[in-house]
Amino acid sequence: MKRLLLTVGLASLVLVPSTAQGQIYVGAEGGWGDDLDWYLGGRLTADLTPQFRPVAIIGSFNYFWPEETLLREFDYWEVNINAAFMQRVYGRAADYAAAYFGLGLNIADITITTKSTGDQVSDTEYGMNVIGGTKYKLGRVTPFFEIGFTIWGSEQIRLTGGLDLALGEGF
């Protein structure tokens, strides 16, 4: 797990063009999934709009707290990598608001532990994300709201909200 996160983090730094270094956002997110309840996570966004109009790469790691049963405990996490197509908002909101939609990859891992025996069963699934959301620039802090659906794999709807912190300039 740690090796996977380190690999994803290093790959994102290598794959992002050096001219886009000022367009990196680091954030925290949380939300609700229709199958697995509440979650918290981290997020890394590379806004490639100056180079490849109008695209952002969004990577996230989310840890869920599914409801336990009398006999079993659940441990569940997801890694998501999405390409989002940015759509500027026109009119008075153009300076601080943007909408986006996109597609990506979902890697989900669940471990089920039987309470009485301690036996564990683990499964990793892969799926495709469909996401849509809005973000609002307030200085270097950018709140965002997103809805996502995973096809295949975990097959759940996620409602997400959070804050991104710009490590450089740009929107």
Domains of the chain in sequence order: 2-166 (2.40.160.20)
SS3 16: coil
Cβ neighbors of 77 (< 8 A, separation 6 or more) are 1, 61, 62, 63, 64, 108, 109
pLDDT in tens, 77-117: 999 999 999 887 777 777 788 899 999 999 999 999 999 99
- Does residue 111 contact residue 72 with C-beta atoms inside 8 Å? no
124 pLDDT higher than 90: yes
19 pLDDT higher than 70: no
**Ramachandran region, residue 164 (left: φ > 0; alpha: ψ -120 to 50; beta: rest):** beta
Task: Check: pTM over 0.75? Answer yes or no.
Answer: yes
Which two structure tokens, joined as six digits, stand for 62?
Answer: 């989310």
Q: State how far the alpha carbon of 129 is from the alpha carbons of 13, 21, 33, 101, in Å.
A: 22, 26, 13, 10
45 residue type, one letter: T
C-alpha span between 5 and 20 (Å, rounded): 22
- Does residue 24 contact residue 15 with C-beta atoms inside 8 Å? no
